[in-house]
Amino acid sequence: MVGEELGLVNYWGSIWKKRWLVIAVTVIAPIVATLIYPPGRPAVESFIQADVPAELEIDIKQIVDTINQSSANGSLPAVLNLQLPRFPAVWAEAGPDASQIRVVVQDGDIQTAKTILQTIVAHFNKRIRQRWTEKYPERALRDSVELLSTARISRSRFISEELTIGLAIGLGFFGAALLACVLEYRKDKKRRPAA
């Protein structure tokens, strides 16, 4: 028991001797964490309902992949034939229902996002109508793709900013305390001659 207490006192003494290192790392860790993992930017999200006729053999995944690939390679403005001064990042994923697509526009301006979302809907309706007309020229087709929900602003993050900073402070403190103990241990080991 006395040996354990002495060891714990030594650890606290090591941390106290290196307190400026501990404080510096504890302060720097959240700054680095926010640089590496910046706070969530506002995003506008909406759901698109895509009731594509089964005869066309167009899967929801194809629409999602088209949006994501065009956004990733920067060709989405050209694909949509949409001219904006600054085109935000856009990504899509399958929605909760088999015929729904969740589309997120990484921009806080809801009007720009609505324009992009409406243009995506119009683009896919046009493509589906063209394929339908090629396959069944005598039959009419109603619009298959529509905005299901109104666009709303959200924060697209999996971890909140407060949690990120809290984890960085905690990990920074414990990492610095461990570093202080290791440095003190190495210093003591150099001072003591080998037996």
pLDDT attached to residue 79 = 83
pLDDT attached to residue 38 = 67
Q: How far apart are alpha carbons 68 and 89 in whole angstroms?
A: 9
Considering the domain 42-155, what is its CATH architecture?
A: 2-Layer Sandwich (3.30)
Query: Per the structure block, which two tokens stand in for 150?
Result: 């109104």
Per the listing, tokens 């979302």 go with 117
pLDDT tens sequence across 26-41 = 889 888 887 776 666 6
pTM for the model stands at 0.56
Distance (Å) of CA 38 to CA 35, 53, 76, 113, 170: 5, 42, 25, 22, 18
pLDDT attached to residue 2 = 46
pLDDT attached to residue 104 = 84
H-run or E-run covering 42: strand 42-50
pLDDT attached to residue 40 = 63
pLDDT attached to residue 148 = 62
Q: How far apart are alpha carbons 157 and 34 in whole angstroms?
A: 13
H-run or E-run covering 165: helix 161-191
pLDDT attached to residue 163 = 76
The parts of the chain modelled with pLDDT lower than 70 are 1-8, 37-42, 107-108, 144, 147-160, 193-195
